[in-house]
Structure 1
Protein backbone atom coordinates (compact mmCIF):
# COMPACT_ATOMS: atom_id res chain seq x y z
CA UNK A 1 0.00 0.00 0.00
CA UNK A 2 1.33 3.42 -0.95
CA UNK A 3 1.89 5.69 2.05
CA UNK A 4 4.23 8.37 0.66
CA UNK A 5 4.56 10.31 -2.58
CA UNK A 6 7.80 12.00 -3.65
CA UNK A 7 8.04 14.61 -6.40
CA UNK A 8 11.11 15.63 -8.31
CA UNK A 9 11.46 19.43 -8.37
CA UNK A 10 12.61 20.85 -11.71
CA UNK A 11 10.28 20.35 -14.68
CA UNK A 12 7.99 18.25 -12.47
CA UNK A 13 6.62 20.25 -9.55
CA UNK A 14 8.28 23.50 -10.64
CA UNK A 15 8.70 24.69 -14.22
CA UNK A 16 10.66 27.50 -15.85
CA UNK A 17 9.54 30.62 -17.67
CA UNK A 18 9.63 30.26 -21.45
CA UNK A 19 11.57 33.53 -21.55
CA UNK A 20 14.34 32.15 -19.36
CA UNK A 21 16.91 31.51 -22.10
CA UNK A 22 16.31 34.86 -23.77
CA UNK A 23 16.82 36.68 -20.48
CA UNK A 24 19.92 34.66 -19.65
CA UNK A 25 21.33 35.52 -23.06
CA UNK A 26 20.84 39.21 -22.24
CA UNK A 27 22.82 38.84 -19.00
CA UNK A 28 25.62 36.90 -20.69
CA UNK A 29 25.93 38.89 -23.93
CA UNK A 30 28.33 41.56 -22.52
CA UNK A 31 30.73 38.74 -21.61
CA UNK A 32 30.70 37.10 -25.03
CA UNK A 33 28.49 34.17 -24.07
CA UNK A 34 25.04 32.86 -24.85
CA UNK A 35 23.30 30.49 -22.46
CA UNK A 36 24.13 27.65 -24.85
CA UNK A 37 27.87 28.40 -24.84
CA UNK A 38 27.93 29.21 -21.12
CA UNK A 39 25.94 26.16 -20.00
CA UNK A 40 28.89 23.69 -19.99
CA UNK A 41 30.67 25.91 -17.43
CA UNK A 42 27.49 26.36 -15.41
CA UNK A 43 26.64 22.67 -15.42
CA UNK A 44 29.97 21.31 -14.21
CA UNK A 45 29.97 23.60 -11.17
CA UNK A 46 26.21 23.38 -10.65
CA UNK A 47 26.59 19.62 -10.18
CA UNK A 48 29.14 20.29 -7.44
CA UNK A 49 26.93 23.00 -5.89
CA UNK A 50 23.86 20.78 -5.91
CA UNK A 51 25.89 17.90 -4.45
CA UNK A 52 26.94 20.06 -1.51
CA UNK A 53 30.60 20.05 -2.57
CA UNK A 54 30.54 23.80 -3.23
CA UNK A 55 28.95 25.22 -0.09
CA UNK A 56 28.05 28.80 -1.01
CA UNK A 57 26.80 30.78 -3.98
CA UNK A 58 29.82 33.06 -3.62
CA UNK A 59 32.22 30.15 -4.07
CA UNK A 60 30.09 28.93 -6.98
CA UNK A 61 30.52 32.32 -8.62
CA UNK A 62 34.25 32.43 -7.89
CA UNK A 63 34.88 29.05 -9.52
CA UNK A 64 33.02 29.99 -12.70
CA UNK A 65 34.72 33.38 -12.94
CA UNK A 66 38.11 31.75 -12.47
CA UNK A 67 37.53 29.19 -15.23
CA UNK A 68 35.94 31.59 -17.74
CA UNK A 69 38.36 34.41 -16.78
CA UNK A 70 35.44 36.82 -16.88
CA UNK A 71 33.47 38.55 -14.15
CA UNK A 72 30.22 36.88 -15.08
CA UNK A 73 27.52 37.86 -12.54
CA UNK A 74 26.68 34.33 -11.45
CA UNK A 75 24.74 35.55 -8.43
CA UNK A 76 22.50 37.55 -10.77
CA UNK A 77 21.93 34.42 -12.85
CA UNK A 78 21.02 32.48 -9.70
CA UNK A 79 18.66 35.26 -8.60
CA UNK A 80 16.93 35.30 -11.95
CA UNK A 81 16.82 31.50 -12.13
CA UNK A 82 14.91 31.53 -8.84
CA UNK A 83 12.58 34.30 -9.97
CA UNK A 84 11.86 32.62 -13.31
CA UNK A 85 10.70 29.38 -11.72
CA UNK A 86 6.97 28.94 -12.01
CA UNK A 87 4.78 26.69 -9.87
CA UNK A 88 1.38 26.14 -11.48
CA UNK A 89 -1.54 26.54 -9.11
CA UNK A 90 -2.82 23.14 -10.17
CA UNK A 91 0.41 21.52 -8.95
CA UNK A 92 -0.12 23.01 -5.51
CA UNK A 93 -3.71 21.78 -5.51
CA UNK A 94 -2.60 18.27 -6.51
CA UNK A 95 -0.23 18.13 -3.53
CA UNK A 96 -2.94 19.38 -1.15
CA UNK A 97 -5.28 16.68 -2.42
CA UNK A 98 -2.65 13.96 -2.07
CA UNK A 99 -1.86 15.05 1.49
CA UNK A 100 -5.36 14.01 2.55
CA UNK A 101 -4.24 10.41 2.15
CA UNK A 102 -0.43 10.30 1.81
CA UNK A 103 2.73 11.84 3.17
CA UNK A 104 4.23 14.04 0.45
CA UNK A 105 7.83 15.12 -0.08
CA UNK A 106 10.30 16.54 -2.58
CA UNK A 107 13.24 14.39 -3.69
CA UNK A 108 15.52 16.43 -5.91
CA UNK A 109 18.99 17.12 -7.25
CA UNK A 110 18.99 20.83 -6.51
CA UNK A 111 20.21 23.53 -4.14
CA UNK A 112 17.96 23.63 -1.09
CA UNK A 113 18.58 27.33 -0.46
CA UNK A 114 17.26 28.15 -3.94
CA UNK A 115 14.30 25.81 -3.58
CA UNK A 116 13.24 27.32 -0.27
CA UNK A 117 13.37 30.80 -1.77
CA UNK A 118 11.03 29.73 -4.58
CA UNK A 119 8.67 28.21 -2.01
CA UNK A 120 8.80 31.41 0.01
CA UNK A 121 7.94 33.42 -3.10
CA UNK A 122 4.84 31.25 -3.56
CA UNK A 123 4.03 31.11 0.18
CA UNK A 124 4.14 27.30 0.22
CA UNK A 125 6.94 26.80 2.76
CA UNK A 126 4.84 24.26 4.67
CA UNK A 127 3.26 22.47 1.72
CA UNK A 128 5.48 19.38 1.87
CA UNK A 129 6.10 17.01 4.75
CA UNK A 130 9.80 16.74 3.87
CA UNK A 131 12.38 18.20 1.49
CA UNK A 132 15.18 15.83 0.52
CA UNK A 133 17.60 17.88 -1.55
CA UNK A 134 20.99 16.78 -2.82
CA UNK A 135 22.85 19.89 -1.66
CA UNK A 136 21.92 19.09 1.94
CA UNK A 137 22.23 15.30 1.74
CA UNK A 138 25.61 15.60 0.03
CA UNK A 139 24.77 13.10 -2.70
CA UNK A 140 22.85 13.36 -5.96
CA UNK A 141 20.50 10.87 -7.55
CA UNK A 142 20.99 8.12 -8.63
CA UNK A 143 23.11 7.51 -5.51
CA UNK A 144 21.10 5.22 -3.22
CA UNK A 145 21.89 7.37 -0.17
CA UNK A 146 19.53 10.18 -1.17
CA UNK A 147 16.65 7.74 -1.74
CA UNK A 148 17.23 6.12 1.65
CA UNK A 149 17.24 9.58 3.24
CA UNK A 150 13.89 10.27 1.61
CA UNK A 151 12.34 7.05 2.91
CA UNK A 152 13.79 7.68 6.36
CA UNK A 153 12.44 11.24 6.44
CA UNK A 154 8.84 10.07 5.99
CA UNK A 155 9.31 6.80 7.90
CA UNK A 156 8.18 4.52 5.10
CA UNK A 157 9.54 1.42 3.41
CA UNK A 158 10.56 1.51 -0.24
CA UNK A 159 7.54 -0.52 -1.36
CA UNK A 160 5.28 2.03 0.37
CA UNK A 161 6.61 5.00 -1.63
CA UNK A 162 6.13 6.27 -5.16
CA UNK A 163 8.44 8.70 -6.96
CA UNK A 164 7.32 11.00 -9.78
CA UNK A 165 10.08 12.31 -12.06
CA UNK A 166 10.74 13.32 -15.66
CA UNK A 167 14.17 11.69 -15.93
CA UNK A 168 14.08 7.93 -16.36
CA UNK A 169 17.76 6.98 -16.37
CA UNK A 170 18.92 9.31 -13.59
CA UNK A 171 15.87 9.21 -11.31
CA UNK A 172 13.45 6.34 -11.79
CA UNK A 173 15.68 3.35 -12.49
CA UNK A 174 17.50 3.71 -9.17
CA UNK A 175 14.22 4.21 -7.31
CA UNK A 176 12.84 1.01 -8.83
CA UNK A 177 16.02 -0.85 -7.95
CA UNK A 178 15.49 0.03 -4.30
CA UNK A 179 11.89 -1.18 -4.42
CA UNK A 180 10.05 2.12 -4.81
CA UNK A 181 7.17 2.51 -7.23
CA UNK A 182 7.82 4.92 -10.08
CA UNK A 183 5.77 7.25 -12.26
CA UNK A 184 7.31 8.87 -15.31
CA UNK A 185 6.09 12.37 -16.16
CA UNK A 186 6.40 12.20 -19.94
CA UNK A 187 5.80 15.88 -20.55
CA UNK A 188 6.23 17.78 -23.81
CA UNK A 189 9.43 19.42 -22.56
CA UNK A 190 12.43 17.12 -22.90
CA UNK A 191 15.88 17.93 -21.59
CA UNK A 192 19.41 16.91 -22.55
CA UNK A 193 18.86 13.52 -20.92
CA UNK A 194 16.04 12.47 -23.29
CA UNK A 195 18.40 10.53 -25.57
CA UNK A 196 19.57 8.38 -22.64
CA UNK A 197 15.99 7.91 -21.47
CA UNK A 198 14.94 6.66 -24.90
CA UNK A 199 17.56 3.91 -24.73
CA UNK A 200 16.75 2.97 -21.14
CA UNK A 201 13.03 2.71 -21.87
CA UNK A 202 13.72 -0.19 -24.23
CA UNK A 203 14.64 -2.35 -21.22
CA UNK A 204 12.93 -0.59 -18.29
CA UNK A 205 9.31 0.31 -17.70
CA UNK A 206 8.06 2.58 -14.89
CA UNK A 207 4.96 1.52 -12.98
CA UNK A 208 2.94 4.25 -14.67
CA UNK A 209 3.28 7.06 -17.19
CA UNK A 210 1.47 10.41 -17.03
CA UNK A 211 1.40 13.53 -19.17
CA UNK A 212 0.56 15.98 -16.37
CA UNK A 213 0.25 15.98 -12.59
CA UNK A 214 -3.54 16.19 -12.69
CA UNK A 215 -3.55 12.47 -13.45
CA UNK A 216 -1.70 11.54 -10.27
CA UNK A 217 -4.52 10.96 -7.81
CA UNK A 218 -6.21 8.29 -9.90
CA UNK A 219 -2.96 6.76 -11.16
CA UNK A 220 -1.50 6.28 -7.67
CA UNK A 221 -4.66 4.47 -6.61
CA UNK A 222 -4.10 1.97 -9.42
CA UNK A 223 -0.52 1.13 -8.40
CA UNK A 224 -0.20 -2.00 -6.29
Structure 2
Protein backbone atom coordinates (compact mmCIF):
# COMPACT_ATOMS: atom_id res chain seq x y z
CA UNK A 1 0.00 0.00 0.00
CA UNK A 2 1.26 3.46 -0.89
CA UNK A 3 1.71 5.60 2.23
CA UNK A 4 3.88 8.51 1.11
CA UNK A 5 4.39 10.59 -2.01
CA UNK A 6 7.44 12.69 -2.75
CA UNK A 7 7.37 15.45 -5.38
CA UNK A 8 9.91 17.36 -7.37
CA UNK A 9 9.23 21.12 -7.45
CA UNK A 10 10.25 22.83 -10.70
CA UNK A 11 8.34 21.62 -13.78
CA UNK A 12 6.34 19.24 -11.59
CA UNK A 13 4.40 21.45 -9.17
CA UNK A 14 5.65 24.82 -10.39
CA UNK A 15 5.03 25.67 -14.05
CA UNK A 16 8.51 27.03 -14.34
CA UNK A 17 8.35 28.08 -17.99
CA UNK A 18 5.22 30.18 -17.48
CA UNK A 19 6.57 31.60 -14.21
CA UNK A 20 9.89 32.64 -15.76
CA UNK A 21 8.14 34.21 -18.74
CA UNK A 22 5.90 36.24 -16.46
CA UNK A 23 8.70 37.23 -14.10
CA UNK A 24 11.27 38.31 -16.67
CA UNK A 25 8.70 40.43 -18.51
CA UNK A 26 7.77 42.08 -15.21
CA UNK A 27 11.45 42.62 -14.35
CA UNK A 28 11.94 44.44 -17.63
CA UNK A 29 8.92 46.63 -16.91
CA UNK A 30 10.27 47.49 -13.44
CA UNK A 31 13.91 48.11 -14.30
CA UNK A 32 14.22 48.87 -18.01
CA UNK A 33 14.70 52.59 -17.40
CA UNK A 34 18.27 51.48 -16.68
CA UNK A 35 18.63 49.77 -20.07
CA UNK A 36 15.89 51.04 -22.35
CA UNK A 37 18.13 50.60 -25.41
CA UNK A 38 17.24 46.88 -25.11
CA UNK A 39 13.83 45.81 -26.35
CA UNK A 40 11.55 43.86 -24.04
CA UNK A 41 11.26 41.01 -26.55
CA UNK A 42 15.04 40.69 -26.82
CA UNK A 43 15.53 40.83 -23.05
CA UNK A 44 12.93 38.15 -22.36
CA UNK A 45 13.97 35.80 -25.15
CA UNK A 46 17.70 36.03 -24.38
CA UNK A 47 17.15 35.42 -20.68
CA UNK A 48 15.19 32.27 -21.48
CA UNK A 49 17.89 31.06 -23.87
CA UNK A 50 20.69 31.66 -21.38
CA UNK A 51 18.68 30.12 -18.52
CA UNK A 52 18.58 26.86 -20.48
CA UNK A 53 15.51 25.42 -18.74
CA UNK A 54 16.93 26.27 -15.32
CA UNK A 55 20.20 24.43 -15.82
CA UNK A 56 22.38 27.58 -15.69
CA UNK A 57 22.82 29.48 -12.43
CA UNK A 58 21.17 32.90 -12.52
CA UNK A 59 24.38 34.75 -11.64
CA UNK A 60 25.86 33.47 -14.89
CA UNK A 61 22.69 34.35 -16.81
CA UNK A 62 22.66 37.94 -15.60
CA UNK A 63 26.39 38.42 -16.09
CA UNK A 64 25.99 37.30 -19.70
CA UNK A 65 22.94 39.54 -20.24
CA UNK A 66 24.75 42.63 -18.96
CA UNK A 67 27.75 42.00 -21.23
CA UNK A 68 25.79 41.04 -24.35
CA UNK A 69 23.41 43.99 -24.16
CA UNK A 70 26.05 46.48 -23.00
CA UNK A 71 24.06 47.34 -19.86
CA UNK A 72 26.11 49.80 -17.79
CA UNK A 73 23.53 51.55 -15.62
CA UNK A 74 22.59 48.57 -13.44
CA UNK A 75 24.86 45.83 -12.14
CA UNK A 76 24.18 42.15 -12.72
CA UNK A 77 24.11 41.66 -8.94
CA UNK A 78 21.12 44.01 -8.70
CA UNK A 79 19.27 42.07 -11.39
CA UNK A 80 20.05 38.83 -9.57
CA UNK A 81 18.83 40.24 -6.25
CA UNK A 82 15.62 41.33 -7.96
CA UNK A 83 15.15 37.80 -9.27
CA UNK A 84 15.74 36.23 -5.88
CA UNK A 85 13.31 38.54 -4.06
CA UNK A 86 10.60 39.02 -6.70
CA UNK A 87 10.30 35.69 -8.51
CA UNK A 88 8.03 34.22 -5.84
CA UNK A 89 5.31 36.74 -6.75
CA UNK A 90 5.20 35.28 -10.24
CA UNK A 91 5.05 31.58 -9.37
CA UNK A 92 2.42 29.85 -11.51
CA UNK A 93 1.23 26.38 -10.45
CA UNK A 94 0.36 23.62 -12.84
CA UNK A 95 -3.40 23.04 -13.14
CA UNK A 96 -5.06 21.17 -10.28
CA UNK A 97 -2.09 21.60 -7.92
CA UNK A 98 -3.86 22.61 -4.71
CA UNK A 99 -6.91 20.44 -5.44
CA UNK A 100 -4.69 17.39 -5.84
CA UNK A 101 -2.60 18.08 -2.74
CA UNK A 102 -5.76 18.66 -0.70
CA UNK A 103 -7.24 15.36 -1.89
CA UNK A 104 -4.05 13.43 -1.15
CA UNK A 105 -3.84 14.86 2.37
CA UNK A 106 -7.52 14.10 2.91
CA UNK A 107 -6.81 10.49 1.95
CA UNK A 108 -4.08 10.30 4.59
CA UNK A 109 -0.94 10.26 2.48
CA UNK A 110 2.33 11.68 3.81
CA UNK A 111 3.69 14.25 1.38
CA UNK A 112 7.17 15.61 0.76
CA UNK A 113 9.19 17.71 -1.67
CA UNK A 114 12.69 16.78 -2.80
CA UNK A 115 14.16 19.46 -5.06
CA UNK A 116 17.55 20.51 -6.34
CA UNK A 117 18.42 24.19 -6.05
CA UNK A 118 19.29 26.97 -3.65
CA UNK A 119 17.53 26.95 -0.31
CA UNK A 120 16.28 30.54 -0.27
CA UNK A 121 15.15 30.43 -3.91
CA UNK A 122 13.25 27.15 -3.64
CA UNK A 123 11.70 28.09 -0.31
CA UNK A 124 10.39 31.31 -1.81
CA UNK A 125 8.92 29.41 -4.76
CA UNK A 126 7.13 27.04 -2.38
CA UNK A 127 5.74 30.02 -0.48
CA UNK A 128 4.82 31.72 -3.74
CA UNK A 129 2.72 28.69 -4.65
CA UNK A 130 1.20 28.76 -1.13
CA UNK A 131 1.60 24.99 -0.69
CA UNK A 132 4.00 24.64 2.25
CA UNK A 133 1.36 23.49 4.72
CA UNK A 134 0.49 20.44 2.61
CA UNK A 135 3.93 18.91 3.09
CA UNK A 136 5.30 16.88 5.97
CA UNK A 137 8.92 17.33 4.89
CA UNK A 138 10.82 19.47 2.38
CA UNK A 139 14.38 18.73 1.28
CA UNK A 140 16.40 21.18 -0.84
CA UNK A 141 19.75 20.09 -2.24
CA UNK A 142 21.76 23.14 -1.12
CA UNK A 143 20.51 22.75 2.44
CA UNK A 144 21.01 18.98 2.47
CA UNK A 145 24.38 19.16 0.67
CA UNK A 146 23.33 16.27 -1.57
CA UNK A 147 21.53 16.37 -4.91
CA UNK A 148 19.18 14.19 -6.88
CA UNK A 149 19.75 11.61 -8.32
CA UNK A 150 22.06 10.63 -5.45
CA UNK A 151 20.32 7.95 -3.34
CA UNK A 152 21.05 9.73 -0.05
CA UNK A 153 18.61 12.59 -0.59
CA UNK A 154 15.75 10.19 -1.35
CA UNK A 155 16.62 7.97 1.62
CA UNK A 156 16.81 10.99 3.88
CA UNK A 157 13.35 12.15 2.80
CA UNK A 158 11.85 8.72 3.40
CA UNK A 159 13.44 8.53 6.85
CA UNK A 160 11.95 11.89 7.82
CA UNK A 161 8.52 10.68 6.76
CA UNK A 162 8.98 7.39 8.57
CA UNK A 163 8.30 5.65 5.26
CA UNK A 164 9.98 2.95 3.20
CA UNK A 165 10.81 3.02 -0.48
CA UNK A 166 8.47 0.08 -1.04
CA UNK A 167 5.41 2.04 0.13
CA UNK A 168 6.40 5.37 -1.44
CA UNK A 169 6.02 7.05 -4.83
CA UNK A 170 8.06 9.80 -6.45
CA UNK A 171 6.51 12.27 -8.90
CA UNK A 172 8.84 14.30 -11.10
CA UNK A 173 9.67 15.52 -14.58
CA UNK A 174 13.43 14.94 -14.87
CA UNK A 175 14.23 11.53 -16.40
CA UNK A 176 17.53 11.10 -14.54
CA UNK A 177 17.34 13.21 -11.39
CA UNK A 178 13.75 12.26 -10.54
CA UNK A 179 12.77 9.00 -12.20
CA UNK A 180 16.09 7.15 -12.31
CA UNK A 181 17.07 8.52 -8.91
CA UNK A 182 13.87 7.40 -7.19
CA UNK A 183 13.83 4.02 -8.94
CA UNK A 184 17.40 3.52 -7.78
CA UNK A 185 16.27 3.41 -4.15
CA UNK A 186 13.27 1.19 -4.89
CA UNK A 187 10.45 3.73 -5.12
CA UNK A 188 7.60 3.58 -7.61
CA UNK A 189 7.71 6.53 -10.01
CA UNK A 190 5.27 8.77 -11.83
CA UNK A 191 6.66 10.85 -14.67
CA UNK A 192 5.10 14.31 -15.07
CA UNK A 193 5.42 14.37 -18.81
CA UNK A 194 7.60 17.17 -20.15
CA UNK A 195 8.29 17.31 -23.88
CA UNK A 196 11.53 19.19 -23.21
CA UNK A 197 13.10 15.78 -22.66
CA UNK A 198 13.67 13.89 -25.90
CA UNK A 199 13.80 10.46 -24.29
CA UNK A 200 10.93 9.25 -22.15
CA UNK A 201 12.07 7.64 -18.90
CA UNK A 202 10.94 4.19 -17.86
CA UNK A 203 8.49 5.09 -15.11
CA UNK A 204 5.70 3.09 -13.47
CA UNK A 205 3.16 5.62 -14.76
CA UNK A 206 3.03 8.81 -16.83
CA UNK A 207 0.74 11.79 -16.32
CA UNK A 208 -0.03 15.04 -18.12
CA UNK A 209 -1.93 16.60 -15.21
CA UNK A 210 -1.53 16.36 -11.45
CA UNK A 211 -5.16 15.35 -10.87
CA UNK A 212 -4.38 11.99 -12.47
CA UNK A 213 -2.28 10.98 -9.45
CA UNK A 214 -4.99 9.68 -7.06
CA UNK A 215 -6.32 7.17 -9.61
CA UNK A 216 -2.78 5.93 -10.34
CA UNK A 217 -2.12 5.42 -6.64
CA UNK A 218 -5.23 3.23 -6.47
CA UNK A 219 -3.91 1.21 -9.39
CA UNK A 220 -0.58 0.74 -7.59
CA UNK A 221 -2.42 -0.52 -4.50
CA UNK A 222 -4.57 -2.92 -6.54
CA UNK A 223 -1.66 -4.51 -8.40
TM-score, normalized by length of structure 2? 0.75
Correspondence list, 1:17-166, <5 A: 17=19, 18-23=21-26, 30=35, 34-36=46-48, 38-39=50-51, 43-45=55-57, 71-72=75-76, 73-87=79-93, 90-99=96-105, 100-166=107-173
Unaligned runs of 5+ in 2: none
Q: Deviations over 1:2-59 (max 9, x none)?
A: 110011111211223343454466668939763045436x84446xxxxxxxxxxxxx
1:174 equivalent in structure 2 = 181
CA 1:45/1:126 → structure 2, altered by over 3 Å: closer, same or farther? same
1:55 equivalent in structure 2 = none
1:211 to 195, 208, 211: 208
Q: Which moved more, 1:159-168 or 1:25-34?
A: 25-34
TM-score, normalized by length of structure 1? 0.74
CA 1:173/1:88 → structure 2, altered by over 3 Å: closer, same or farther? closer
CA 1:142/1:122 → structure 2, altered by over 3 Å: closer, same or farther? closer
Q: Measure the CA separation in 1 of the matches of 2:103 and 2:182.
A: 24
User: Displacement, 1:185?
Assistant: 1.0
1:14 equivalent in structure 2 = 14
Q: Measure the CA separation in 1 of the matches of 2:203 and 2:214.
A: 17
User: Displacement, 1:109?
Assistant: 1.1
User: Displacement, 1:216?
Assistant: 0.5
Q: Measure the CA separation in 1 of the matches of 2:132 and 2:178.
A: 24
Work out whether residues 8 and 106 of structure 1, in 8 Å CA contact, stay in contact via their aligned partners in 2: yes
Work out whether residues 2 and 160 of structure 1, in 8 Å CA contact, stay in contact via their aligned partners in 2: yes
Work out whether residues 24 and 35 of structure 1, in 8 Å CA contact, stay in contact via their aligned partners in 2: no
Work out whether residues 25 and 35 of structure 1, in 8 Å CA contact, stay in contact via their aligned partners in 2: no
Q: What CA RMSD, in Å, does the superposition of the two structures yield over aligned residues?
A: 3.1
Q: Indicate the structure (1 or 2) with the bigger Cα radius of gyration.
A: 2
Aligned length: 199
CA 1:45/1:89 → structure 2, altered by over 3 Å: closer, same or farther? closer
User: Displacement, 1:167?
Assistant: 1.3
Unaligned runs of 5+ in 1: 47-59
Q: Measure the CA separation in 1 of the matches of 2:180 and 2:57.
A: 25
Q: Measure the CA separation in 1 of the matches of 2:139 and 2:62.
A: 26
Q: Deviations over 1:198-224 (max 9, x none)?
A: 1xx3xx521001110011101111114
